[in-house]
Amino acid sequence: MTSWSAVVGSQCLSLHQGHLPTCLCVFQRMPAPIRLRELIRTIRTARTQAEEREMIQKECAAIRSSFREEDNTYRCRNVAKLLYMHMLGYPAHFGQLECLKLIASQKFTDKRIGYLGAMLLLDERQDVHLLMTNCIKNDLNHSTQYVQGLALCTLGCMGSSEMCRDLAGEVEKLLKTSNSYLRKKAALCAVHVIRKVPELMEMFLPATKNLLSEKNHGVLHTSVVLLTEMCERSPDMLSHFRKLVPQLVRILKNLIMSGYSPEHDVSGISDPFLQVRILRLLRILGRSDDDSSEAMNDILAQVATNTETSKNVGNAILYETVLTIMDIKSESGLRVLAINILGRFLLNNDKNIRYVALTSLLKTVQTDHNAVQRHRSTIVDCLKDLDVSIKRRAMELSFALVNGNNIRGMMKELLYFLDSCDPEFKADCASGVFLAAEKYAPSKRWHIDTIMRVLTTAGSYVRDDSVPNLIQLITNSVEMHAYTVQRLYKALLDDISQQPLVQVSSWCIGEYGDLLVSGQCEEEEPIQVTEDEVLDVLEGLLLSNLSTPVTRGYSLTAIMKLSTRFSSVNRIKKVVSVYGSSIDVELQQRAVEYNALFKKYDHMRPALLERMPIMEKTASNGPTEIVQTNGETEPSVPDTKHPPLVTQPANQANDLLDLLGGNDVVPVIQTTLPTKPASAGGELLDLLGDLSLSGGPAPAPVPSVPVSQPPFLLDGLSSQPLFTDIAAVIPPMTAYNKNGLKIEFTFERANPNPNIAVITIHATNTTEADMTEFVFQAAVPKTFQLQLLSPSSNIVPALNQGSITQIIRVLNPQKQQLRMRVKLTYTHKGLPVQDLAEVNNFPPQSWQ
Amino acid sequence: MQFMLLFSRQGKLRLQKWYVPQADKEKKKITRELVQTVLARKPKMCSFLEWRDLKVVYKRYASLYFCCAIEDQDNELITLEIIHRYVELLDKYFGSVCELDIIFNFEKAYFILDEFLLGGEAQETSKKNVLKAIEQADLLQESETTFASSCVKLIL
């Protein structure tokens, strides 16, 4: 019925806005809009969302027409109803202007609802809100303090910058009034103004003069808030207000010492809100100021020791006190007191208290590490807490507390936590464990075991970069290779679903498969595994649905690498050729290239698939030194892929002949930034002992981002010129020719670094017998740096039927004349042969 | 304090006070998400949670959740006391307040809140003073009504 008459009414009245003749009113007999409570009751009877919506729409229509009629009497009621419906989630923007009209009304009732409506429906994004400004200005000067209060409240809650600019003067005036009811509101309103328009802060300064002399707690509290805001925003204000410290201390002291004050008492504590705010202001004033910190020392100690801790309110004050003590320049006794309070908090039954304790300890663990360490066991216990936030804090704190002394115990707890924690924690926990293990591992075996544990329990959650990091770690733990590969193999047998674990395992098997099969493990009982079994596992990974494309890449490469370590080469050849037609482009490309390796470049295969050298984690690994190949390689090649250039170790024996022999030595490349010249020794020619044979073999594709190109094309290992722009064609030369052994050098200048000369040696044999166990070693003067890569083989076939190729890279930053001393050893017709020679006839283009 | 929300166990909003400007759509989104998050918490969990870049303090009183979002430097424990003080004020005003009181008298709940907090901070730490101010304001409202035309009894 309401809507019917409203419709009729509106049709007649729309032409008479604001000039409603009373006679019309009579024959329309507009019923009063329903009361707010009535509406609420009605809406609550709705049984479905649709029913509710219908009621709301009906009422909204009524309200709309009522608004159109400019009905003053019921505007307030209508807006109130609108606010209710707005809270239910329905649109109420058509009431915005009505709120403004209510605010402009003379009636307090109207203003109350009007301002409420403004705060709920209007915001500074709408221009409409600016219309409020004048009303607020008037109301700030109203004769009734409750009206002034409404205006202050609204301005302080939602005033935009423009409004604040316009009305700041009024607020400042009220800040100086003696009416404490208004003064306290003005203070908080000023805080809002300053937040919105920081430049206006200055104008409030004079008014702050006597704020702290107030007896009224409301004014005191809000004044402290205002002072805090000003000090936080401006260092000048901060220094200016430092003089208030004694006064603040006094007020705080009174609060603590004074007897029971019923008006402000909360569980036996006098005005905890004010106490907390004062403590916070003291913190800001005392920070980085010795004098202020000293002035507040006593009161802080007093609060810390005298505050009742049985209820939350007391702990709230203690919490704030601790925060203050830790932030100012407090003496150590006080700091220890603070940490002990936190320690006690940790034992509190109230989980909220435990939570804030952990948060605070986390903040102080860096600066007061030892004090926090004392509470380590309690912190570790918190790992078992039921609350997620507490667990997280405890975990972060635990990692912060791990050091060389407690690593074993802590790691045990943390691994146990990793086992049982929620998935959301696993990634962070795993990373934390890896980091801690890397820093403090007591032994290599422990380190590997810890990694294994993480991979097997949280394997799918470890971060992507963990895989290359782990691979590097494993590579560098030389003596643990057999043990590691065995354990990883066993883990694979159990579970192939966790990709990081599978990737690391495949890589290891590919690398150390020979150790696995030979049953060489020292650390634990070696397992009996055949080559076929290993290949079964790896092939299984290729076929499994659980394996991601990246993992498949790892397995294929691992299988390929085993071709130089296992004897079942045919099986491997077959697998590789099958994947030559794989749908996965990455796999296909790899397989095709591996195939090519079997066919055309078989002589290079052993060299390319050789053991990885120890990798150093260098931040800037001089990627500019690295040779680019036919433009297809990834532009950002990660560190571990390229064996960095080697410098002459400082304390290598001076003797020219002091070389490490043996093909199966895993070379130790001491790396430094390539531009650093070798130091030490007066010898002109030092030999790079360690590097004798196997230099950096082809970096395996595994350690990171899948590259579009199989790695063995990198680093110019192929003897064919791979660069598209060679600076100049350098003529080859014969370096050695004796007893039927001829060694030729061919040259390339590296791009982009012209200081590197890449020399490929070709060794051929004109005699009728093969030269076996052929080893080529070279040494260069100190100003050079040399890197010797793996030879293609160690047999020089008789009668020029083939050759050995090997690549030498020489860094010649000073562009000096290249000289080289070479040492050759081989077995010929059953007899060992050894020879030394100097090579001086380098063409100038190779070093200029 | 950035905002305060009161909602029922079914997730129905009973009061929302925003102290930072937000678009309506954003307010709805925040409300929806936060209500969901808080309602999903188990009783044994602590009253604080990290949400977006804010700290959220919440406490359940009977069928109503009181939820405040505070800033990093704010004290969580004292926020719990603020929430408690507000509940005490409502209790004193309505006499053993229950959810229905807040539903049917939501505007009064706002008035009380606005006498206790301003711009997100406590403006009055004395319970008595807050209630006195509300009482006076109510009287003012009533006195106006009695002066108004007699046919209008209760405005709202």
Q: Tens of pLDDT along A776-826?
A: 888 888 788 888 888 888 888 888 888 888 888 888 877 778 888 888 888
CA–CA min distance A108, chain B (Å): 6
Which residues of A fall within a CB distance of 8 Å from B82? 273
Cα(A522)–Cα(A520) distance, rounded to whole angstroms?
6
DSSP A45: T
Which residues of B fall within a CB distance of 8 Å from A228? none
> Which residue from B73, B81, B103 is facing A313, i.e. has the nearest CB?
B81
Q: Alpha-carbon dihedral of residues A327, A333, A334, A337, nearest 10 degrees?
A: 110
Residue A523's pLDDT is: 74
CB pairs A-B closer than 8 Å: 178
Q: Which of A183, A221, A223, A363 to mutate to test the interface with B (most CBs of B within 10 A)?
A: A221
Q: Which of A41, A71, A109, A126 to mutate to test the interface with B (most CBs of B within 10 A)?
A: A109
Which residues of B fall within a CB distance of 8 Å from A40? 103-104
Positive or negative CA dihedral for A62, A64, A68, A74?
Answer: positive
Residues 6+ apart with CB under 8 A from A384: none
Averaged pLDDT score across all residues of chain B: 91
Residue A30's pLDDT is: 60
Q: Tens of pLDDT along B82-119?
A: 999 999 999 999 999 999 999 999 999 999 999 999 99
* pLDDT grade for A461, boundaries at 50, 70 and 90: confident
Q: Picking from A200-209, A827-836, B127-136, which range would have the lowest pLDDT averaged per residue?
A: A827-836
Residue A604's pLDDT is: 81
Cα(B96)–Cα(B91) distance, rounded to whole angstroms?
5
* pLDDT grade for A195, boundaries at 50, 70 and 90: very high
Give the ipTM.
0.94
Q: Which domains does chain B have, with CATH numbers?
A: 3-154 (3.30.450.60)
Residue A17's pLDDT is: 45
- List phi, psi (to 5°) of B65: -100, 130
Q: Alpha-carbon dihedral of residues A445, A450, A456, A458, nearest 10 degrees?
A: -160
Token reading at A512: 């150390």
- Number of neighbouring beta carbons within 10 Å of residue A485: 27
> Which residue from A149, A157, A217 is facing B119, i.e. has the nearest CB?
A157
Residue B43's pLDDT is: 85
- Three-state SS for A78? helix
Mean pLDDT of B12-38: 94
Which residues of B fall within a CB distance of 8 Å from A83? 106-107
* pLDDT grade for B1, boundaries at 50, 70 and 90: very high
**Burial class of residue A733, CB neighbours in 10 A (0-12, 13-18, 19+):** middle
Check whether B75 has a pLDDT greater than 60.
yes
CB–CB of B46 and A218 under 8 A?
no
* pLDDT grade for A208, boundaries at 50, 70 and 90: very high
Q: Tens of pLDDT along A130-143?
A: 889 999 999 999 99
